[in-house]
Amino acid sequence: MTKWIWFDMDGTIANLYAVENWLADLRSESVRPYTEALPMLNFSLFARLLNQLQRNGWQIGIISWTAKSGSETYNMAVELAKRAWLARHLPSVEWDEIKVVRYGTNKKETCGDGILFDDEIGNRNAWGQGAYEPQDIVEILKSLKGVD
Residue ranges of domains in the chain: 3-143
How many CB atoms sit inside 10 A of residue 87's CB?
Answer: 11
Q: How far apart are CA 35 and CA 87, in angstroms?
A: 11
pLDDT at residue 61 in the model: 98
What is the model's pTM?
A: 0.95
Tell me if the domain spanning 3-143 has CATH number 1.10.3720.10: no
Summarised one tens digit per residue, pLDDT across range 52-65 is 999 999 999 999 99
The fraction of the chain above a pLDDT of 70, given in percent, is 96
CA-wise closest residue to 10 among 28, 36, 30:
36
Q: Average pLDDT of 7-16?
A: 98
Dump pLDDT digits (tens) for 79-107.
999 999 999 999 999 999 999 999 999 99
